[in-house]
Structure 1
Amino acid sequence: MNYLQLAQRLRREMNDTGEGPHNVTNQTGRNLEYVDAIREAWLDIQSLRPWNKRFWENGFDSDNLQELEASSDTPFIPKQFHVAIVYYAMQSKALSQNAQELVIRGQNEWDKYLHLLCERFLPTPSLGK
């Protein structure tokens, strides 16, 4: 999913009626909140753990995070993990709307994906000599 599709998916997961966003630039109101939530969630996820080299692609690393800016920008992680960004963003959006059932759903889904991300992209622990 690209940046725009992630923001649209977040709106659906939040059970928000209406349409949009139709792009990620020049947004206002709720559409701006969805776009910002996705951008911030992806930056947070990149900084969340000391991810291994397999996590980072296309010249990005912990000192050079990928910032989503254009509608077509796509997070560099494998596509099966893209929805994790939505659920991470959903937690803060649901808190701001005082929607406890959505907070819980966002947390439950994010926890599943966090486990998978950690399993695949955290460095293998090693014991000293």
Structure 2
Amino acid sequence: MQVEVVAGRAEKLPLEDDGFDVAVLSLVLCTFADVPGALAEARRVLKPGGKLLFYGTSAPSGPASAVQKALALPWRLIGGGCHLTRDTERAIQEAGFTVEDIRRFLLRDQRPSQPPPSPSIIGTGRATT
């Protein structure tokens, strides 16, 4: 398999329309300033019915919610711009993808310098036609 790396930004991909079967977004949706724009570009470059594979943080709920909300601003400053409270699943759906399967879990890191467990999601979406 041949791989070509092309410089660009998620919000303006230098790629043709309907040219790809799969797009992968892994631990990046929390950092984009323009999430709808990045997802619209992923949808644009996918063939009709193309697949979106995603993994990232998600809006907190339950007992972790208050802690995640309190950490949101400091974590954005030290965590590469990551928004801990962004509703990633909703953003994907609003961008025209049908979420076909999704798994929710708490990402845990045992190092003391890491934040408390982070609500995360991993799944597959399909570009709606």
**Could you say whether these structures have the same fold, taking a TM-score greater than 0.5 normalized by the shorter chain as the test?**
no
Q: Which has the higher contact order (CA 8 A, sep 6+)?
A: 1
Greater share of helix:
1
TM-score w.r.t. length of structure 2: 0.28
TM-score w.r.t. length of structure 1: 0.28
Greater share of strand:
2
